[in-house]
Structure 1
Amino acid sequence: MSDLPRKAVTRTAKLAALPLGFAGRATWGLGKRIGGRSAEIVAREVQQRTADQLFKVLGELKGGAMKLGQALSVFESALPEDVAGPYRAALTKLQEAAPPMPTRTVHGVLAERLGEDWQDLFVEFEDRPAAAASIGQVHRAVWHDGRDVAVKVQYPGAGDALLSDLTQLGRFARLLGPLVPGMDIKPLITELRDRVSEELDYALEARAQSEHAAEFADDPDVVIPGVVHQCEQVLVTEWMEGTPLSEVIADGTPEQRNRAGQLLARFLFSGPARTGLLHADPHPGNFRLLPPPDRIADSVEAAESADDGAADESFTASGNFGDWRLGVLDFGTVDRLPDGLPRPIGDALRMTLSGQAEEVYEMLREEGFVKDSIELDPDAVLDYLLPIIEPAQAEEFTFSRSWLRTQAARIADPRSPAHQLGKQLNLPPSYLLIHRVTLSTIGVLCQLNATVRLRDELENWLPGFASALEPELEPEPKPESESERVTESEPAPEPVPEQKSGSGSESGAKSESEPESGEGAVVGA
């Protein structure tokens, strides 16, 4: 049990220990090799020790340090297996299981925010947290009206810790390179820092979650817990049972993996179209795989009456997973997209798949992905994009770590034409968060090794993409009758404005702070 370390000096020292610790272990490894140990065994030991320290430090500090760890956890799929293996377990732990803060601290926050008689609001309250994350931890409880609820309590000092951590991490981002080889984490740190105020505001989170819960209330595939109560530092929502996606990644059947992957892709693209909001924290700890309503009660009862092993089996018993649902948690970070995902994304995908190099290049230039001072070969740009969007072309596509590693290696290799071209591309500020969320979701799909009909979701929900692989046919002109002709004295009626699905005025507001654009980051963060 540990309080969140408050002093900036203490936090900075712990963060600085990460690259210094790696250097020390590398020296230790060199000594072992000189002593006759094989390079492969020594390297594995160094990576395992580094992974252990990574979880220990980022987990204990919580705040921005743990937020970075959670964000990195979905990108391990892009790393070579010999590198990713030791980090996978350590980073996955950060998705749901950080060291919790002491019970006295939790009670203190609840007393301050809900009143000294806060316990009267609950029939039951479990002091042991169900999950501990970057800026708060969740306790299971029973609300005074009998509903099972999740009580999220924000760590005291979380705001200062977030800003301090991300500022310090940004200063020695290059030194952190060896912790996750092959990744440039500075743009990720910058983007996380720009979202601090939203992450800490539970009123904004409650509003975003309520809008999603209302929109998806009758949805057969996606479940959003409703908001029960909110005040500063405390958010109470309906409790949701289910199998965490991290468990599906570790031990799920192919049917579970495919169903989870399909629903994750559906939520990514349907959410903005239906609510005007993009859920911007898609790590596995924020998703659950749920049985259909008529089976969930039986599953919960079986799980509660069984030992740990049998409890897991009760939720994942063999059967038809085609009617299982995706539960979504944590709406602390969202992108406000009142018109849904930008239409140029769908248009560019459609034209790329159709081989329209010149048109794609002009659109990228218009949207700011290619700066005015840069001249590129449109055909080279098309060659750069096509392998990345392969999942959108196939009727169904199996996302895998090996596929993502191939893409990452192609773009990261300094000798590769793709690397040279990628360095000249620009990422406009309005696309930064969309870019990270899309990459993160792809990372999770690859962790799931899910076979997904991505094109179906794009055609249903992404503006501009529909009929991407079908030629656009000009309608045949119909013969004009006298009654159909529009005369000069009888003007044509005005077109009816197109009705847009999305959120109201609240979700239409843009973020107060626009992050800076990033160069050479269109594919790899």
Structure 2
Amino acid sequence: MADIPRRAAHRTVKLASLPLGVAGRLAAGWGKRLTGQDAAEINAEVSARTAEQLFAVLGQLKGGAMKFGQALSVFEAAVPDELAGPYREALTKLQSAAPPMPSSSVHRVLDEQLGSGWRKRFAEFDDTPAAAASIGQVHRATWHDGREVAVKVQYPGADEALRSDLRQLMRLSRLFQSLAPGAEVKPLLAELQDRMVEELDYRTEADNQRAFAREFRGDEDVLVPAVVASSPKVVVTEWVTGTPYSRIIANGEREERNRAGQRLAEFHYSAPARVGLLHADPHPGNFMLLPDGRLAVIDFGAVSRLPHGLPATLGRMLRLALEDRPAELLELLRAERFVQPEVNLRAEDVLAYLAPFVDPVRVETFHFTRRWLQQQAERVGDLRSPDFRTGRSLNLPPDYLLIHRVTLGATGILCQLDAEVGARDIITRWQPGFAE
């Protein structure tokens, strides 16, 4: 245990190097501009080097830093195309890549969590990790009854690392704001920090997954792998093989992109009504498309408990904005604390701010594109825009923060997929308050 303070200090130094490195590259870029070099080329070079450092630091830290990088990775669709390339590659790596844990450490965790006779529970166990999660890594194995299984093993010291990383990242939130235009990074970090303890106990994750698996057992569109065994730092689930969403995003065909987007949207909106839980970790590493067209969901560490489904207030807001009813919309926002009593806003300005977000339900099939998301981010993030001033006056109540982040994250994936989705029918069926 004596080396934990040294490791924490080392992690802090690495995190602290990020803003210093960025500042140095920006200064060098400014110097090159003074000598007459092309600004676009300089910006691309600075972005590439910053993205490279971002991945090197966050990828090595794992823990909270990697989880934050994964959360940001779904927002890269909002970054302008000329700057997005380097970040897209670096952040996407964080969805599935991290330096592996030595096999001796893996065996030690399995000894502690499953007992010294854990090898008898497996017919085969591959010491080489098949994938990395934010606070653990996944090994492929064969259970004693012949089933192919995924074994997620938590990194030793992940709990201390997670807390340390998130404390440091809270101090660096302004640096990361540029990666997610229009998104509030500090509340994102605070919310991740609040849910940290729950995610560290894999027994909770296993219970979440069992609840989803029960509801979606035999479903034509969604597969949730069954849980085979669980303990605080190890969870064993049935193995599934499919095409990762990251691969579909990179080179999927049109039909595959549309199917992947449709399945994800249906799962996002239907799960709260069917299970009473919202899957709260939307990044492409958690989703696969199976050969039979079903969506496979493979990580349930983060969920939000919604026993009554999605709040009906969100559906009513969407309907009022769709039907251009600004006075009623503002009245509802005030009643639900989205507008504080002391804030003066014109109903027309609120409608103008929210109306573009309603685009997906204006048509039977909506094409989610990077450019559409970029336009929304530019609109609400432009200091000169009336929408920016309106947005600054709106409040997001704490009980809506997670739902907002997850919906935004799922929308980011749909835009990465470039998917054409029948969002209106899905929302009409599953979002309370919209069809009333």
Instruction: State the TM bucket, normalised to the shorter chain.
Output: over 0.9
**Residue 300 of structure 2 is aligned to residue 338 of structure 1:** no
Aligned-partner residue type, residue 442 of structure 1: T
Unaligned ranges ≥5, structure 1: 293-323, 468-525
Aligned to 1:282: 282
Secondary structure at the counterpart of residue 430 of structure 1: helix
Partner residue in 1 for 2:267: 267
**Which residue of structure 2 lines up, in the alignment, with residue 408 of structure 1?**
377
SS of match in other structure, 1:235 = strand
Distance 1:54 1:123, change over 3 A: same
Deviation (angstroms), 1:372: 1.0
Q: Tell me the CA shift for residue 326 of structure 1.
A: 0.5
Name whichever of 177-186 and 397-406 sits farther off: 177-186
Q: Deviations over 1:481-517 (max 9, x none)?
A: xxxxxxxxxxxxxxxxxxxxxxxxxxxxxxxxxxxxx
The corresponding residue for 1:202 is: 202
Corresponding residue of 1:444: 413
**1:175 shift after superposition:** 3.8
Per the alignment, residue 383 of structure 1 pairs with 352
2:193 and 2:230 map into 1 onto residues whose CA distance is 24
**If you compute each CA radius of gyration, which structure gives the higher value, 1 or 2?**
1
Which stretch has the larger CA shift, 92-101 or 145-154?
92-101
Q: Matches of 2:253 and 2:207 in 1, distance apart? A: 35
Q: How far did 1:177 drift?
A: 4.2
Farther-moved stretch of structure 1 (454-463 vs 21-30): 21-30
Inter-CA distance 461–343: structure 2 relative to 1 (3 Å threshold): same
Give how far 1:176 is off. 4.0
Shift of the 182–17 alpha-carbon distance from structure 1 to 2, 3 Å rule, reads: farther
Q: 1:206–1:235: 8 Å Cα contact kept in structure 2?
A: yes
2:409 counterpart of 1:423: no
* SS of corresponding position for 1:388: helix
Cα offset, 1:259, TM superposition? 0.3
Number of aligned residue pairs: 434
Q: Report the counterpart of residue 49 of structure 2 in structure 1.
A: 49
Does the alignment pair 1:255 with 2:255? yes
Answer yes or no: is 1:365 the counterpart of 2:334.
yes
TM-score by length of 1: 0.80
CA gap 1:285/1:5 in 2 versus in 1, 3 angstroms: farther
Does structure 2 retain, via aligned residues, the 8 Å contact 1:18–1:176?
no
Structure 1 stretches of 4+ with a deviation exceeding 6 A read 3-6
Which amino acid is 1:328 matched to?
V
Q: CA deviation at 1:191?
A: 1.2
355-364 or 152-161, which deviates more: 355-364
Q: Which amino acid aligns with 1:207?
A: D
Structure 2 matches for 1:125-164, cutoff 5 A? 125-164=125-164
Distance 2:392 2:108 in 1: 50
Pairwise CA RMSD: 1.7
CA distance in 2, matches of 1:5, 1:74: 33
The letter for the 1-side match of 2:116 is E
Mapped to 2, the partners of 1:8 and 1:202 lie a distance apart of 23
Q: Give distance in 2, aligned partners of 1:33 and 1:354.
A: 50
Contact 1:217 1:224 (C-alpha < 8 Å) held by counterparts: yes
Distance 1:113 1:97 in 2: 24
Task: Name the structure 2 match of 1:77.
Answer: 77
Deviation at 1:35, TM superposition (A): 5.3
Measured after TM superposition, the shift of residue 32 of structure 1 is 4.1
Counterpart amino acid of residue 441 in structure 1 = A
Contact persistence 1:19–1:176 (CA under 8 A): no
Which residue type is aligned with residue 251 of structure 1? N
Matched residues in 2 for 1:341 and 1:148: separation? 35
Deviations 1:12-40 (CA, angstroms, capped at 9, x unpaired): 11001111111122233344445554322
Per-residue Cα deviation, 1:195-235 (whole angstroms, up to 9, x for no partner): 10111121111111001001000110000000000012000
State the Cα deviation string for residues 458-486 of structure 1 (Å, max 9, x = none). 1111112127xxxxxxxxxxxxxxxxxxx
CA separation in 1, counterparts of 2:9 and 2:183?
A: 27
Deviation at 1:375, TM superposition (A): 2.1
Aligned to 1:502: none
Question: Which stretches in structure 2 are left out of the alignment for 5+ residues?
Answer: none
CA distance in 2, matches of 1:207, 1:93: 28
Is the alpha carbon distance of 1:353 and 1:4 closer, same or farther for their aligned partners in structure 2, counting shifts above 3 Å? farther
Given residue 335 of structure 2, which amino acid in structure 1 is its aligned partner?
A: E
Aligned residue for 1:23?
Answer: 23
Spell out the pairing of 1:470-489 with structure 2 (5 A cutoff): none
- How far, CA to CA, are the matches of 2:346 and 2:281 in structure 1? 35
Confirm or deny: 8 A CA contact 1:287 1:326 kept in the other structure: yes
- TM-score scaled by structure 2? 0.96
More helix by share: 2
**1:376 corresponds to which letter in structure 2?**
L
Whether the 8 Å contact between 1:19 and 1:179 is mirrored in structure 2 is no
SS at match of 1:21: helix
Which amino acid in structure 2 is aligned with residue 449 of structure 1? D
Contact 1:291 1:325 in 2 (8 A): yes
Q: 1:78 is aligned with what amino acid?
A: A
- Within 1, Cα distance between the matches of 2:84 and 2:191? 24
Residue 108 of structure 1, CA deviation: 1.0
The percentage of counterpart residues that share the same residue type is 59
Match of 1:222 in 2: 222
Structure 1 residues 253 and 200: alpha-carbon distance in aligned structure 2, compared to 1, 3 A threshold:
same
